[in-house]
Amino acid sequence: MGEVHKGKRKLKFLGCLVGTAIGDALGARREGMGMSGSEDVVSLAEKLEQLMYTDDTHMAIGIAESLIESKGFDGEHMAQTFIKNYDAEPWRGYGPGPPIIFGMIKSGEAWYSAANRLYRGGSFGNGSAMRVAPVGLLYSRKLETLREIAYQSSSITHSHELGKEGAALQACAVALALNTPSDEDIDREAFLSRLQNFIRNQLYKEKNGPNKRVAWRARQGEGGCRPGKWYRSTKVSAYGYLLLPEAGSVLQRYRDLRRKPGRRY
């Protein structure tokens, strides 16, 4: 791999992780309020004196730390990394489930069984999908390995089949975006088709199709996806990216704002 290519890839890694944190911090202010346009995001960034990322980014950092330090997935190490980070900053906005699970693990419960003990059948919320970006980055060229690690990292707190599938689907979307050459436009229909083909769970296949309709909406700049449930959350995430792939301009605007005297970050 040439130095230029490695440099571009590093920038994509940074863009994904920093973009995740900024999107999380800005989005936390509008949680439950529906989708926003880029002008709403810029307006919000201009008003805020300080951005604070939430538990989603906090746990994404934990995934990245653990995968790098362990040179792959180690469930015990990742669970202990989550716990260490939570103990250091419990005020990040964690929901009720993870702290209970962390307490169970600290008391001796195995990392792979605590979530099932708390939620019969496992939680199928979207929390593990919200933190999975590092898996998509690090395993973008090995999608079956990506799937397995997304499942495993999810199972620490979200062990239901649907929760794990959502995490794998989100990681796959990150991988597809990473592997798209920077000088090429996104082929929306092909992107969504590859996501659809990646899905194993039949209910997800039904809820995330038909792709052509979503791709057409993205081309037309229309709305229509409502966030909220597990199958909607991952669909809206991919839809938002395809609708506004130039969202990097929002990040650039935010970087410009950072340079203003007196602003704290």
Tens-place pLDDT, residues 161-218: 888 999 999 999 999 999 998 888 888 888 888 988 999 988 877 776 654 455 444 4
Q: How many CB atoms lie within 10 A of CB 43?
A: 11
pLDDT of residue 209: 61
Residues 6 or more apart whose Cβ sits within 8 Å of residue 180:
186, 191
- As a whole number of angstroms, the distance between CA 245 and CA 238 comes to 10
- Looking at the chain, the whole-number percentage of residues with pLDDT higher than 90 is 46
Whether the predicted pLDDT of 65 surpasses 70: yes
Return the pLDDT at 185. 83
At residue 72, the pLDDT reads: 97
CA distances from residue 103 to 84, 124, 144, 180 in whole angstroms, order as listed: 11, 20, 32, 41
CA angle, 155 as apex, 152 and 157 as ends, to 5°? Answer: 140
| DSSP states of 193-245 | HHHHHH---HHHHHHT--HHHHHHHHHHT-------SHHHHHHHHHHHHHH-G
By the 8 A CB rule, do 221 and 188 touch?
A: no
Q: Within its chain, how far is the Cα of 249 from the centroid?
A: 20
**68-85 mean pLDDT:** 98
Q: What is the pLDDT confidence band of residue 237, given thresholds at 50, 70 and 90?
A: low
Q: Give the whole-angstrom CA distance, residue 63 versus residue 82.
A: 8
pLDDT at residue number 242: 54
The pair phi, psi for residue 203, each rounded to 5°, is -65, -40
- For domain 3-258, give the fold: ADP-ribosylglycohydrolase fold (1.10.4080)
Share of the chain above pLDDT 70, in %: 75
Of 71-75, 123-127, 142-146, 190-194, which gets the smallest average pLDDT? 123-127
Residue 17 has pLDDT above 80, yes or no: yes
Residues 92-99: what's their mean pLDDT?
94
pLDDT band at 227 (very low <50, low <70, confident <90, very high): very low
pLDDT in tens, 19-60: 899 889 988 887 777 666 778 778 888 888 888 999 999 999
